[in-house]
A and B are shown apart, each in its own frame.
Chain A
Amino acid sequence: MKAPDFDYCRPGTLAEALSLLAGADGEAQPLAGGQSLMPMMNFRVAAPEILVDLAGIPELRGIARQGDMLRIGAMTTYRELQDDPALQAVPLIAMALPHIAHDAVRNRGTIGGSLALADAAAEMPALMMTLNAVIELAGPDGPREVPATEFFLGYYETACEPDELLVAVRVPVAQPGEVFGFHELVQRHGDYAMAGVAIRATGVAPIAGLAVGFFGVSDRALRVPAFEEALTGTDGSEAAIAAALPKLDAIEFEGDTKISAETRRHYAGVALKRALKEMLA
């Protein structure tokens, strides 16, 4: 199908975009890469009155190293991330990028769009939680920051209000000795994951400073502190993983038309084992 009719505008500054959103009384929606919003509009599950195209706003662009953080503008595409040498400082993102959609989608899809959309099966939200990134927002009352671990609230629901824009995300760069793991189970390369996991640890023998972000398991990306604690201090062996897995009871695994909640739970364990094994190898 085709998208329904709408008004279109392309502001040249962040302030102009924010005032357009504020003046539209919830009828306006930001357009980033359009790689999720356009399908939703073509399916007519989304029908915004006004599209505010963010493509002309310089404040939303650019990748910059700021001390121990990499600041990534919301309108940075996956492709720009893949091509930027600065990304070597955040190996976990580099590991995940080839698994996000397909080349033609990565050429337009943006990190800000993925985080603002908060698809439960998307990689970026889980990566940002695992890395303890900070999300920068701007709204009518000025800028504010939200830790990624507090940003994702439910199905397509985030701390970003309708009159706010996601401006950038600040991601801590890898520290010496830090290691990362990533694995997802998909039906075809580039599909949304049936279950996936991103891992960060400050040490491996024994495992220390562990963060594990799950995606494609429930209504949002999430971490399970009790599970991270149970694996910390262990050697990450099959036995240690088996002992920690019951802590995933804290997750409300969701089933859908493709797979049941039980299968998802099983897949989450499989993804975890594979990611850990590769990380510790």
Chain B
Amino acid sequence: MTRDARITLTVNGEEISAVVAVRTNLVDFLRHDVGLTGSHVGCEHGVCGACTLELNGKAVRGCLTLAVQADGGTVTTVEGLADSGRSDALRAAFTRRNALQCGFCTPGMLASALSYIERGGSDDRQAIRDHISGNYCRCTGYQSVVDAISDVIREGDGA
């Protein structure tokens, strides 16, 4: 039984080992301890999607995952998605389509959208909307976000 734990995990390709308070959630650990501030924190109860990032190849809520639960795992944040080139087409489409204004939702939106695209999601607008229904955006009205995602699917170079 423990209130602090040593965890070792791979973040954006780099192995990191640290002692964390077990109550620390994954997104706070990444932002405050690792210094990766790309993932954002909004609601802290799983609703807004701003903290969405990749754990062991799957999109998860960084605010609903404890850092200790990621021990031994592989994390990819929005920074890692950019560095590896995986999000290139999507980021270009977001820029072209004006799919961000303040950008607060964007890291989570990109992680969510990428998981949809990489799993072979269709370019049907309603299907895209249903998929990103767990990511709040207070600026764009979603129209341009859907445009960007469907662009990447149609171009076929995002997957």
Complex alpha-carbon distance, A185 and B49, angstroms: 22
How far apart are B81's CB and chain A's nearest CB, in angstroms? Answer: 15
Residues of A within 8 A of B3 (CB): 5-8
Complex Cα spacing A108 to B111, Å: 16
Q: Which chain A positions have C-beta within 8 A of B61?
A: 35, 104-105, 108
Which single member of A39, A98, A103 contacts B46 (CB below 8 Å)? A39
Please tell me if A90 contacts chain B, counting CB pairs below 8 Å.
no
Question: Is B129 close to A, CB under 8 A?
Answer: yes
Q: How far is it, in angstroms, between the C-alpha of A10 and the C-alpha of B112 when the chains are bound?
A: 29
User: Main SS of the interface on chain B?
Assistant: mixed
Contact of B23 among A3, A39, A43, A189 (CB under 8 A): A3
For B131, list chain A residues within 8 Å (CB): 102-103
Would A103 and B25 be within 8 Å (CB), given that A50-B1, A108-B65 are in contact? Answer: no
Q: A3-B25, A8-B2 are in contact. Are A42 and B112 (CB under 8 A)?
A: no
Beta-carbon contact of B23 and A5 below 8 Å: yes
A104-120 CB contact bits vs B (8 Å, 1 = yes)?
Answer: 11011000000000000
A61 to chain B, nearest CB (A): 15
A7 touching B1 by the CB < 8 A rule? yes
Number of A-B pairs whose CB atoms are under 8 Å? 98
Contact residues in A for B49 (Cβ distance below 8 Å): 102, 104
B28 closest partner in A (C-beta): A2
Q: Which residues of B contact A79 (CB under 8 A)?
A: 58
In the complex, what distance in Å separates the CA atom of A244 from the CA atom of B156? 51
Asked if A2 contacts B23 (CB within 8 A), the reply is: yes
Q: Is B64 an interface residue (CB 8 A)?
A: yes
Most buried by B among A35, A42, A188: A42
Q: Given the interface contacts A103-B115, A107-B58, A108-B64, does A1 sit within 8 Å of B69 by beta carbon? A: no
Is the beta-carbon distance between A190 and B130 smaller than 8 angstroms? yes
Per-residue B-contact encoding for A50-79, CB less than 8 Å = 1, 0 else: 110101000000000000000000000001
Chain B residues positioned under 8 Å from A53 (CB to CB): 68-69
Complex Cα spacing A4 to B25, Å: 11
Q: Residue of A at shortest CB range from B129?
A: A189
Taking the complex as formed, is A261 at the interface, i.e. its CB lies under 8 A from any CB of chain B?
Answer: no
**Least distance between B25 CB and chain A CB atoms (Å):** 7
* Residues of chain A contacted by B44 (CB below 8 angstroms): 1-2, 42
Nearest B residue to A37 by beta-carbon distance?
B64
Contact indicator A102/B133 (Cβ below 8 Å): yes
**Interchain residue pairs with CB less than 8 A apart (28):** A1-B44, A2-B44, A5-B3, A5-B21, A5-B23, A6-B23, A8-B1, A8-B66, A35-B46, A35-B64, A39-B45, A39-B46, A43-B45, A50-B1, A102-B134, A103-B115, A103-B116, A104-B49, A104-B58, A104-B59, A104-B111, A104-B134, A105-B46, A105-B61, A105-B64, A107-B58, A189-B133, A190-B133
A-B complex: 4 closest residue pairs judged by Cβ atoms? A102-B134, A39-B45, A8-B22, A189-B133
